[in-house]
Structure formats: structure tokens, C-alpha cells
Amino acid sequence: MRTAAIAACGVSGGIHAALFALHAGELPLHAAAFLTAALLLALAGVVLARRPAVREAPLGTAALFAALALAYPLAAHEPFDAIAGIALAVEGVGLAASLALLRPRRAVVEPGILSIFLLCVALGLMLGGGHGHG
């Protein structure tokens, strides 16, 4: 479950980072929201990967995913598209995985988990970079 939550942080964070870059010149408020989401997702992914004993991390990550999913219909300025669908699906998986981590278990740093996170960020950047306007 930890790997799924970390991967979801990476993919969603990458998508939000790419959307920040695409919207920076046209919609500064939306761009700032995308950047904030990307940074919070990066922080959540790194904490889950490198500090598995931090008991508050899964709850904070779950709250972040829930907030992002709820914010989409409130802040969307464009029609629903494939990138939005992918992001929402990934955030749903991340939310479920983060909630599953709330059950007590032994915290172990998994070798290579940070590499998985970075690959998922790259995937999210590629997906988000394909978001076109008009």
C-alpha cells in the first residue's frame, strides 16, 4: 500500500507540475494552485518513502488526495478531459492506499522506493504535458 500511495503522489505531483508550467502565463491563480499541489504531493511522497515511521504522514497524504479530488469540480476552468480523469483516478488510488496505511504495522524503508517515486513523477510530467488547450 505504501508503494501505491508513493506512486500516486509521484504521478499526481508530476501532472500538477506540468499543468503549472502550462498555465503559468495565462492563469496565475490556477498556476499557483497547481504548483502548491505539486509541491505538497512531492513532500508527501518523499516523507512516505523516506520516513515510514512518521505516523501522521498517511493521514496527511489521504487528506491531500481528498482535498485535490474535491477541489477539481470547484476550481476547474476547462472541460473535463483525459488528463483530469487520470489525475482523479490516481488521486482515488492514492487516497485508498493512504487510508490503508493508517492501520498499525511495522514501518520499513523499502530499497528503491524513492526511485519508483521519481519515475512516477516523470510519468505524471509526461501525462500532464500532453494537456492541450483548444
Asked whether residue 134 is domain-assigned, the answer is: no
Alpha carbon distance 116, 6 (integer Å): 8
- Highest average pLDDT, of 24-28, 46-50, 78-82, 101-105, comes from 46-50
Q: What does pTM read for this prediction?
A: 0.83
Q: Is the pLDDT of residue 9 over 90?
A: yes
Q: Is the pLDDT of residue 28 over 80?
A: yes
Asked whether residue 116 is domain-assigned, the answer is: yes
Asked whether residue 66 is domain-assigned, the answer is: yes
Q: Is the pLDDT of residue 79 over 50?
A: yes
Asked whether residue 12 is domain-assigned, the answer is: yes
Asked whether residue 65 is domain-assigned, the answer is: yes
Mean pLDDT, residues 81-104: 92
Residue with the bigger pLDDT between 127 and 95: it is 95
**Ordered DSSP codes for 7-69:** HHHHHHHHHHHHHHHHHTTT-HHHHHHHHHHHHHHHHHHHHHHH-TT-THHHHHHHHHHHHHH
* Phi, psi of 38, rounded to the nearest 5 degrees: -60, -45
Asked whether residue 52 is domain-assigned, the answer is: yes
Asked whether residue 60 is domain-assigned, the answer is: yes
Question: 30-72, pLDDT tens digit by residue?
Answer: 889 999 999 999 999 999 999 888 889 999 999 999 999 999 8
**Looking at the 3D structure of the chain, how many domains does it have?**
1
Q: What is the pLDDT of residue 134?
A: 47
- Residue-range definition of the domain harbouring residue 108: 2-129
What 3-state class would DSSP assign to 119?
helix
Question: 11-26, pLDDT tens digit by residue?
Answer: 999 999 999 988 888 8
Q: What is the mean pLDDT of the chain?
A: 87
